[in-house]
Structure 1
Amino acid sequence: MSLRAWLSKARPQKLPFRRRVTRAAVALIEREGRDGRELFFIQRARRKGDPWSGDMAFPGGRLQQGDQSSRDTAMRETLEETGLDLYRAGAYQGRLSDLLTRHHSRWRPMVVTPHVFTWQGDDTLTLNHEARRGVWIPMAYLADPVHQSRLPIATPLGTLTFPCCHYQEYCIWGLSYSMMRERLSSAGI
């Protein structure tokens, strides 16, 4: 068994300490498109001081006191950021593995829970100030090794390279790339 296969099996779906740190949730939204199954991404708005400004991401955000669950957070945040109403037109498929990251402006840990939905509504988007653009990308395209690459990022430790996927002028990397790869794998793509 390869190291990558072992790590993917060893990664727990629910991190045991997730309730003791700040939590966030995102929605991976799929639909049947012209070229087969598609996955929805937003391009984050460009904001000064945001380390992920302009990056491709899944809609989502931090859990708030009124949220019933991380799934509710993903649905609420998707509605706020994009106008896609998963309460009305999203069929819930399940969750992916929790991922550990940090707050945008602080070095405190944060656990992000991805939830998968099938979109059954129309294409109308109402983007708020957090999202610059919404893009549906064919899942077969995302899975094709031809579109996989490495993204160099300058850090205080030197230049690090991260796996990524390029689509038109967009680059998917980081947590979004990791969630995308897990979803493609679980969908058998």
Structure 2
Amino acid sequence: MRHGEAAVGLIIDRSDLILIKRKIRSDDPWSGDVAFPGGFLKENESPAQCVLREIREEVSLYLTERDILAEMPLHYPMSRQLPVHPFIIRGYSLEDARPGEEVDEVRVVNVSELIKDYDQNKGNIYRYQDWIIWGLTYRILTTYIERYYGNFDF
């Protein structure tokens, strides 16, 4: 495995997108966090191949490179030098997404229902129901909303 890079997928259908809550695991630095499906690149795997594999593993959706609408600029977690490749991917039947082994819960989120807020410990956040979206996922989501949201025809 190449722990030097990761890829995540913003699976969208109009105003909806998929977020996951990661299972609590000692070997996962983002254990228990709300995130986009994604993970580390394996050897000889492109970021696009990685994100599609991770989406299959984490939310049981089978998408192809033809479904990729755009690759966003690289983002980095504050805690480490890990390039993360965010992809915007056209999703179909988002409600069919099911949690894989590493995922506690999958939710289809409407962008209009995200509430921007501030948390004393986590900084800038979005609230969605009882979930808090913060850190790298917050920054990628903000980039998506500010630069890409509404730019795709369905």
TM-score range, shorter chain: 0.7 to 0.9
The verdict on how the C-alpha distance between 1:96 and 1:139 changes in structure 2, with shifts beyond 3 A counting, is: same
8 Å Cα contact 1:91/1:119 also seen in 2: yes
Alpha-carbon distance in structure 1 between the residues aligned to 2:13 and 2:53 = 19
State whether structure 2 residue 91 is matched by structure 1 residue 119: yes
1:72-96: CA deviation from partner (whole Å, max 9, x where unpaired): 11111110111011128x7211011
Alpha-carbon distance, 1:123 to partner: 2.7
Secondary structure, in 3 states, of the residue corresponding to 1:181?
helix
Q: 1:49 deviation in Å? A: 5.6
Is 2:135 the partner of 1:135?
no
Partner AA of 1:179 in structure 2 = I
1:12-31 to 2 correspondence within 5 Å?
A: 22-31=4-13
Does 1:41 pair with 2:19? yes
Bigger Cα Rg: 1
- Check 1:117–1:99 CA distance in 2 against 1; reply closer, same or farther (3 A cut): same
On the 8 A contact 1:99/1:113 being kept in 2, the answer is yes
Secondary structure of the structure 1 residue equivalent to 2:42: coil
Percent of residue pairs identical: 27
CA distance in 1, matches of 2:102, 2:36: 12
Q: Give me the whole-angstrom Cα distance separating, in 1, the residues matched to 2:80 and 2:125.
A: 25
* 8 Å contact from structure 1 (residues 91, 120) kept in 2: no
* Alignment-derived partner of residue 169 in structure 1: 130
By how many angstroms is 1:135 displaced?
0.6
RMSD, aligned CA = 2.2
Report the Cα distance in structure 1 between the residues aligned to 2:109 and 2:84, rounded to whole angstroms.
Answer: 22
Regions of 4+ moved over 3 Å: 48-51
The answer for the alignment partner of 1:182 in structure 2 is 143
In the alignment, structure 1 residue 71 sits paired with structure 2 residue 48: yes
Alignment of 1:44-55 (within 5 A): 44-48=22-26, 50-55=28-33
